[in-house]
Structure 1
Amino acid sequence: MQLNRFARIGFLRTLFCAAVATSALAPSVSADGHGIALYGAPAQPADYIHLPYVNPDAPTGGRFVDGQVGSFDSLNPHILQGSTPWQLRFLAYESLLGRSWDEPFTLYGLLAEKVEVNDDNTAITYTLNPDAQFSDGTPVTVADVIWSWNILGQEGASGRYRTAFAKVTSVEDLGEGQVRFTIDTPDRELLMTTGYRPIMKAAQYADDESAFFKSGIDNLPISTAPYVVTDVDAGRYVELTRDADYWGADLPFRRGTNNIDVIRMEFFGDAAAHFEAFKAGEISTMRETNAANWARNYAFPAVASGEVVLSEIPHQRPTGMTGLVMNTRRAFFDDWRVREAMIQAFNFEYVNGVINAGAQPRILSYYDNSVLGMRPGAAEGRVADLLAPMADDLLPGTIDGYALPVTNGREANRGGIRVATDLLAEAGYTIEGGALTGPDGPVTFEILVQTGSSEVQSIVDIYVEALKRLGIEARAVAVDSAQYTERTNAYDFDMTWYSWGLSLSPGNEQFAYWGPDGVDNPGSRNLMGADDPAISAMIDAMLNSETQDDYVAAVRALDRVLTAGRYVIPTWHNPVSWIAHDARLLYPADNLPIYGDWIGFQPDVWWFAE
């Protein structure tokens, strides 16, 4: 089954979080300023020829058609109003610096040919590439950079831009094509991300700046990117054409990328129509997220004839965390023994067999599948040293090792139910009249889900039946996306389905995910209400690391604290991306980036071979 509307929204959210998250290790600027890395020097030298995961000799040409379920009514991905094809932010706009997806967080010159950071990490200066120009042939100026920064800081722009805007004290035109961003106190994440914002043409809105905040399809973007919007039909399709006069075609950062002449985004009313269009050859690619569907639904004639190829793209990204979140603001879930009981009652092997034919591995921790993930068994070395001062207050398993239960895959899950029953008894709950009963009477709770996701609903239905064996009356409550957002923002739920996307370069955003401010303040991503000083201590250790080894140790220690907190009942992840595609579409299979199928991969480094 292809990405449905909710999976695609989650996929985009994950992409964006990974794209903007950075660590607070002191950024290291290359000696000549051609790039900037989180720690150490950029992997590519000043005289690099191309990024390592591209084919510099790829031919140009072809027409790539991508399908999406849903609709759109805007071409401006930077504002709150309207619905926009999500790829436009990445295909139709450029930034001062571009990101390499083969490094945890490194940016190389794009619109800016040089970047410099002052010694105390409170200012960053960019020197514009004198060749940079918009698609209408006019040059990119410092005035355009400053206008873009200011317009994205106003009400009506996406909140992800306005948050950072408030931290910058000045943006100065230094002359000679240089612009400097200054902040009051060191914020290394902000210094990195100022170079990763879209740059737009100020003159396009000179007569009516308010037009920038109005959704619609009439005002086509004038941008610096390799592609320009050339055809659009609201709600049906958007077509972009490779700009034959693109200014940056010979930049090392661009060589071997943007090889396809025409990119078209087609929109479908439902997932079934989307998939049928792919089978009929009307669209070029299909990204699958379900292992059982990947094994079962892709044996159609075009695959048998070789016209469609099934590719599996591995990656080294953290799994993040996806599953059923327990709200510790509720008295029942405030006890770690209760949360562990809920985990024991969830028969992962059985659920995975029903939903995925048992093919997808379980998420074992928040940073699983990556170098940042906690290691099995007891904490050692620097990780143990970081946790030792808080040992008396840490939950069982944090230091000595924590692992999720493994069942035999049978529906009854007698072993898990037995362990869960004992834990609930330790926490003060007993069975009375067939119902689990505690200080507040019989235990009942709701599991909040969004309408439209049949897979999540199936998971929850199976779990509700399992909880009956513990004497718990749980009820699935399905609400639309607006209600879901409203209720989760207000933490108005007992248990809910949620997903956190995490990157190889976590930073300040970790406080927004599980920091203390989110316990009471609405709207954070700390849905579980985690209120553990050890979490903040590990984030602080990460942000103040002086070496890469210290940084990795701090993230692994944080991973232990979060995982042993037992806040989420984890489900599964994809260690590979499944992409079915036109056989004529090729990619550098022997030089995959560490992020795998991610932003900047398809169609950016693909090409057509007739």
Structure 2
Amino acid sequence: MQYFPTLARQFHAPLAATAGFLSGVVLLAGVALSQPSHGISMYGDPALPPDFVSLPYADPDAPKGGTLVDGNTGGFDSLNPFIQKGTPPWQLRFLTHESLLIRNYDEPFALYGLLAESVETDPDRKWVEFTLRPEARFSDGSPVTVEDVIWSYETLGTIGNPRYLGLWQQIDSIAQTGPRSLRITFNADNRELALIAGLRPILKKAQWEGKDFSDSGLTEVPIGSAPYVVDSFTAGRNVVLKRDPDYWGNDLPVRRGTNNADTYRIEFYGDQNVLFEAFKAGELSYLREFNAENWARDYDFPAVARGDIVKTEIPSQRPSGMTGFVMNTRQPPFDDMRVRDALLSAFNFEYINETITGGRQPRISSYFSGSQLAMQPGPAEGRVAEMLAPFADSLPPEAMTGYALPAGDGSARNRRNVGHAADLLAEAGWTVQDNVLKNVQGQPFTFEILLSQGNRQDQSIIDIYLNALARLGITPVVTAVDNAQYELRVADFDFGMTSFRRQLSLSPGNEQKLYWGSAQADQPGSRNLMGLKSPAADAMIDTMLQARSSEDFIAATRALDRILTSGRYVIPLFSYDVGRIAHVRDLTWSGKVPIYGDGVYFMPETWWFDDSP
């Protein structure tokens, strides 16, 4: 997940947001499940039949073998990706552990059995029941049991990473119903929970008896059931994963043609520049590039010219999501929307885009832009207007009348927008006194911009932004810290402005509460970085989760998009609508692109080494 400094920030959001895959575009397509099935869909039957051979974008005949070398920036001080403490290699969460069900990323609303051979739920989705596969095994050869599953849900939900708390709070009971089966009953009216419950990682209970799961760091590697196991590591430098030769699920349809490399090695570098040079020198198997200008300009080194490195572009049908700089509304001056509006107006995107990407990447216009779920131009109409009307007095007027990001003139000075920003600041009580912006008490306008050290692109953007802020009499403090410090400070909301990325799906669901929900706003480690507390946003999310028609779902999502965008919480940057992967020549794939495009589920999971000439 290395979009600026690390791929984790690019793909972490959708994969961490356990339910971001459920379709809201196609709803109510049949009746809910009433008997055990090989898979489960939000509505109706899963698209793949019980006898499907493999996932649509995987090649079931892909050969196994080879060593795939990946690169991260920064370092790591933990090998447990399921707890709040420490910074683990982000890949471990996806490569070493499994869940009861698994996604099909070519189908935006369905899950299929992985550790579970079947899933069953009632028509109202008040409960869900799973039956484990008898052959399911942990990497040490011990069976995956119902006791392991129940312990995992409770442990992750109570002392695990905060991303697991939301589901646990909506579980009324979890109990064994047979030798290999368990039932989870919910306390909330939320049809998505039956699917989310199938996506929790399952850990081995016996491993942690008499040990502190929440403080394991580098001393204990959690035992999983997935194709890869941690073979060795050098603290802060690399982690080596080996494909388990006795992996229990090799013949499962959802696993055929996936996890093909024998060895998966993760190397750590000080920053993105060093990582890129390592790739050029042949130390890495592949590199994702998220800057279109870099892609066009920097990938002309000899290995590319010789054909030893191949440039591959992967299209996507996902919404844009939001990438930019988030403002922390928990602290002044960002608690004043006029200030946020001013800082957004002063941000000279057109000039920055030309400088950084050569103007090749379009700007994100809203959180769901580029999809059917995006807010529509102009005033709110129809069901969207009806849903927003009860909250109109508490929302920015533009949520109802329409909102568009301020557009600059493309020049370096951007006079009109900077002038508008000065007017907004004056309205909020900030005026220039002796070339310094101050309030009526004479206190200077200042705030901290927190960056991760390896993030060269964000640093370049901020360098340009500082010129505009200086013309307003604002001199922020820019602090760049290593990845571990960065994660700790962000978890404690210890920043004024910082980098932000939320990758959203075609089917937003419960993860929206984690991103924007009022209950998460003051919870340490929350993903609601802006500190949003909006009854209107909470109501739209609830409507999305309870929607019984596609019309209501789409309307609620468009209304939420209006609330978020018109609230001016994030200064949006570039849209990443195409995946760009540079890779060694013998690393190849099926040629079939899932509708979700690139991600850890696609590259490297379904790629393989082809040693043919």
Return closer, same or farther for 1:428/1:86 CA change in 2, 3 Å cut-off: closer
Moved more, 405-414 or 522-531: 522-531
Aligned-partner SS, 1:444:
coil
Once the two structures are TM-superposed, the CA of residue 249 in structure 1 deviates from its matched residue by 2.1
The separation in 2 between residues aligned to 1:79 and 1:521, in whole angstroms, is: 15
Aligned pairs for 1:244-393 (under 5 A) are: 244-329=245-330, 332-391=333-392
Moved more, 355-364 or 130-139: 130-139
Return closer, same or farther for 1:492/1:272 CA change in 2, 3 Å cut-off: closer
Counterpart for residue 501 of structure 2: 499
Counterpart for residue 115 of structure 1: 119
Give 2:195's match in structure 1, choosing from 179, 192, 199.
192
Structure 1 residue 458 corresponds to structure 2 residue 483: no
Aligned-partner SS, 2:136:
coil
Once the two structures are TM-superposed, the CA of residue 112 in structure 1 deviates from its matched residue by 0.6
Counterpart for residue 175 of structure 1: 178
The separation in 2 between residues aligned to 1:461 and 1:34, in whole angstroms, is: 53
The separation in 1 between residues aligned to 2:377 and 2:522, in whole angstroms, is: 33
Aligned-partner SS, 2:325:
strand
Counterpart for residue 581 of structure 2: 579
Aligned-partner SS, 2:447:
strand
Return closer, same or farther for 1:102/1:57 CA change in 2, 3 Å cut-off: same
| Partner amino acid, structure 1, of 2:547 | S
Moved more, 85-94 or 184-193: 184-193
Offset from partner CA, 1:17-42 (integer Å, 9 cap, x none): 34444769999448542112223432
Return closer, same or farther for 1:292/1:376 CA change in 2, 3 Å cut-off: same
| Partner amino acid, structure 2, of 1:109 | G
Once the two structures are TM-superposed, the CA of residue 379 in structure 1 deviates from its matched residue by 3.1
The separation in 2 between residues aligned to 1:479 and 1:302, in whole angstroms, is: 33
Aligned-partner SS, 1:459:
helix
Counterpart for residue 226 of structure 1: 227
Offset from partner CA, 1:155-197 (integer Å, 9 cap, x none): 4x33333554454343322224111223334454443232212
The separation in 1 between residues aligned to 2:471 and 2:93, in whole angstroms, is: 49
| Partner amino acid, structure 1, of 2:196 | T
Asked if structure 1 preserves the Cα contact closer than 8 Å seen for 2:3 and 2:290, the reply is no
Aligned-partner SS, 2:557:
helix
Return closer, same or farther for 1:299/1:190 CA change in 2, 3 Å cut-off: same
Once the two structures are TM-superposed, the CA of residue 56 in structure 1 deviates from its matched residue by 2.6
The separation in 2 between residues aligned to 1:375 and 1:193, in whole angstroms, is: 29
Moved more, 121-130 or 484-493: 484-493
Structure 1 residue 535 corresponds to structure 2 residue 534: no
Aligned-partner SS, 2:544:
helix
Give 2:146's match in structure 1, choosing from 139, 142, 148.
142
Offset from partner CA, 1:453-495 (integer Å, 9 cap, x none): 343233223223213333x323233153666566655656544
Once the two structures are TM-superposed, the CA of residue 284 in structure 1 deviates from its matched residue by 0.8
Give 2:162's match in structure 1, choosing from 148, 159, 164.
159
Counterpart for residue 128 of structure 2: 124
Once the two structures are TM-superposed, the CA of residue 562 in structure 1 deviates from its matched residue by 1.3
Moved more, 287-296 or 233-242: 233-242
Aligned-partner SS, 2:413:
coil
Matched residue pairs, number? 604
Counterpart for residue 15 of structure 2: 16
Moved more, 90-99 or 113-122: 113-122
The separation in 2 between residues aligned to 1:22 and 1:284, in whole angstroms, is: 28
The separation in 1 between residues aligned to 2:88 and 2:525, in whole angstroms, is: 23
Return closer, same or farther for 1:585/1:552 CA change in 2, 3 Å cut-off: same
Moved more, 96-105 or 461-470: 461-470
Query: What value does the CA root-mean-square deviation take over the aligned residues?
Result: 3.3
Asked if structure 2 preserves the Cα contact closer than 8 Å seen for 1:22 and 1:508, the reply is no
| Partner amino acid, structure 2, of 1:253 | V
Asked if structure 2 preserves the Cα contact closer than 8 Å seen for 1:17 and 1:503, the reply is no
Return closer, same or farther for 1:444/1:131 CA change in 2, 3 Å cut-off: same
Once the two structures are TM-superposed, the CA of residue 431 in structure 1 deviates from its matched residue by 5.4
Asked if structure 1 preserves the Cα contact closer than 8 Å seen for 2:115 and 2:133, the reply is yes
| Partner amino acid, structure 1, of 2:89 | P
The separation in 1 between residues aligned to 2:332 and 2:92, in whole angstroms, is: 45
Once the two structures are TM-superposed, the CA of residue 349 in structure 1 deviates from its matched residue by 0.9
The separation in 2 between residues aligned to 1:424 and 1:4, in whole angstroms, is: 33
Counterpart for residue 416 of structure 2: 415
Asked if structure 2 preserves the Cα contact closer than 8 Å seen for 1:30 and 1:41, the reply is no
Aligned-partner SS, 1:46:
coil
Once the two structures are TM-superposed, the CA of residue 580 in structure 1 deviates from its matched residue by 0.6
Give 1:71's match in structure 2, choosing from 50, 71, 75.
75
Return closer, same or farther for 1:358/1:443 CA change in 2, 3 Å cut-off: farther
The separation in 2 between residues aligned to 1:158 and 1:332, in whole angstroms, is: 30
Identity %: 50
| Partner amino acid, structure 2, of 1:344 | S
| Partner amino acid, structure 2, of 1:182 | T
Moved more, 527-536 or 95-104: 527-536
Asked if structure 1 preserves the Cα contact closer than 8 Å seen for 2:272 and 2:456, the reply is no
| Partner amino acid, structure 2, of 1:507 | G
Moved more, 578-587 or 167-176: 167-176
The separation in 2 between residues aligned to 1:335 and 1:152, in whole angstroms, is: 37
What are structure 2's unaligned runs of at least 5 residues? none
The separation in 1 between residues aligned to 2:339 and 2:285, in whole angstroms, is: 48
TM-score by length of 2: 0.88
Aligned-partner SS, 1:263:
strand
The separation in 2 between residues aligned to 1:521 and 1:247, in whole angstroms, is: 39
Return closer, same or farther for 1:234/1:463 CA change in 2, 3 Å cut-off: closer
Asked if structure 2 preserves the Cα contact closer than 8 Å seen for 1:125 and 1:180, the reply is yes
Offset from partner CA, 1:126-164 (integer Å, 9 cap, x none): 111223233444433223323333443454x33333554
The separation in 2 between residues aligned to 1:230 and 1:213, in whole angstroms, is: 21
Aligned pairs for 1:35-50 (under 5 A) are: 35-50=39-54
The separation in 2 between residues aligned to 1:434 and 1:203, in whole angstroms, is: 65
Return closer, same or farther for 1:491/1:78 CA change in 2, 3 Å cut-off: closer
Aligned-partner SS, 1:535:
helix
Asked if structure 2 preserves the Cα contact closer than 8 Å seen for 1:4 and 1:271, the reply is no
Asked if structure 2 preserves the Cα contact closer than 8 Å seen for 1:221 and 1:229, the reply is no
Give 1:570's match in structure 2, choosing from 572, 577, 580.
572
Once the two structures are TM-superposed, the CA of residue 348 in structure 1 deviates from its matched residue by 0.4
Asked if structure 1 preserves the Cα contact closer than 8 Å seen for 2:445 and 2:474, the reply is yes
Once the two structures are TM-superposed, the CA of residue 79 in structure 1 deviates from its matched residue by 3.2
Offset from partner CA, 1:260-313 (integer Å, 9 cap, x none): 333222333444443333223232111122223222221111111111101111
Once the two structures are TM-superposed, the CA of residue 606 in structure 1 deviates from its matched residue by 0.7
Asked if structure 2 preserves the Cα contact closer than 8 Å seen for 1:349 and 1:408, the reply is yes
Asked if structure 1 preserves the Cα contact closer than 8 Å seen for 2:8 and 2:90, the reply is no
The separation in 2 between residues aligned to 1:148 and 1:16, in whole angstroms, is: 18
The separation in 2 between residues aligned to 1:607 and 1:236, in whole angstroms, is: 25
Aligned-partner SS, 2:59:
coil
| Partner amino acid, structure 1, of 2:12 | R
Return closer, same or farther for 1:608/1:407 CA change in 2, 3 Å cut-off: same
